[in-house]
Structure 1
Amino acid sequence: MIVIDYQNRKPIYEQIVERFQMLIVKGIMEADTKMPSVRSLATELSINPNTIQKAYTILEQQGYIYPVKGKGNFVSGNQALKEEQKTVFFEKLKKLIREGRELEIPKELCLEKAAEFYEEGKS
């Protein structure tokens, strides 16, 4: 479910947060699904439980999960999160398009490459 890339310069907790965000937004982890316990995930990934706890705290602050006293953490299933992710994506895309224009990359080439990359992701 979660794979850590030790070559990645991003901190491990950020990688965990991003992976869970995607699993939740894509609907792979459905609303009210119990999250793995901090201890079990730390053991599975061979990392410090404090790292998992930090990732869970961030996910909770962002509204992706919610805690239940004595039971653990659960997926919130908030549909607004998916819309927020789309907004963030389109802001990144807008920035990339601006960079492309500054590099004088033709619109047609951008569209062609976007279609190519989009199809690549389907397989």
Structure 2
Amino acid sequence: MQFDTASPIWVQLVEEFSRRIVTGDWAAGTKMPGVRELAADLGVNPNTAQRALAELERLELCRSERATGRFVTSDEERIDEVRADLATDAANAYVRRVRGLGMTRDRARALLEKRWDSHDDHTTTDADTGDA
């Protein structure tokens, strides 16, 4: 994962972990990787990973069980709410970018529909988001 200097790393981790939950990479009700494992995989300090996981708990996307670890919420309605929030953020970013390019609504919609129909990969990549 590549980090952006525009927001704190732990905030970016919350977004990444939320994405993993809503896409099913971390299925509802399943045990999540441990703090040390996540930190090592992502190349961040364990305290940073811990802060992000604590925020996921505050957002009710996971829960801690003493001596057994963290688990993804089983609340599918909560997961759907977060999925909608992430999609709204992506839509807002798209609108800002195409307006900045001087594109009309009809042209932007046509472009989105064309990309939607031709896009084989349903996961988020840097190329999809425009992130470097």
TM-score norm. by structure 1 comes to 0.74
Shift of 1:48: 1.4
Give, in angstroms, the shift of residue 62 of structure 1: 0.7
Question: How far apart in 2 are the matches of 1:22 and 1:92?
Answer: 12
Identity of aligned residues (%): 27
Q: Confirm whether residue 63 of structure 1 aligns to residue 70 of structure 2.
A: no
Q: Which runs of 5+ in 2 are unaligned?
A: 122-132
- The alignment covers a number of residue pairs equal to 117
Structure with bigger gyration radius: 1
CA shift at 1:106, angstroms?
3.1
d(CA) in 1 for partners of 2:15 and 2:113?
Answer: 25
Q: Deviations over 1:67-100 (max 9, x none)?
A: 0011111110322232343155347636828x84
1:121, distance to aligned residue in structure 2 (A): 4.2
The aligned counterpart of 2:10 is 13
Alignment of 1:112 with 2:102, yes or no, is no
| Greater Cα shift, 69-78 or 103-112 | 103-112
Mark the CA change 1:55 to 1:94 in structure 2 (over 3 Å): closer, same or farther. closer
**Aligned partners of 2:22 and 2:82 also within 8 Å:** no
Segments of 5+ residues of structure 1 without an aligned counterpart are none
Query: Is 1:42 matched up with 2:39?
Result: yes
Q: With structure 2 as the length reference, what TM-score do the two structures score? A: 0.70
Root-mean-square deviation (CA, aligned residues, Å) is 2.8
- Equivalent-residue separation in structure 1 for 2:8 and 2:89 (angstroms): 23
SS of 1:122's equivalent in the other structure is coil
Change beyond 3 A, Cα 1:30–1:39: same
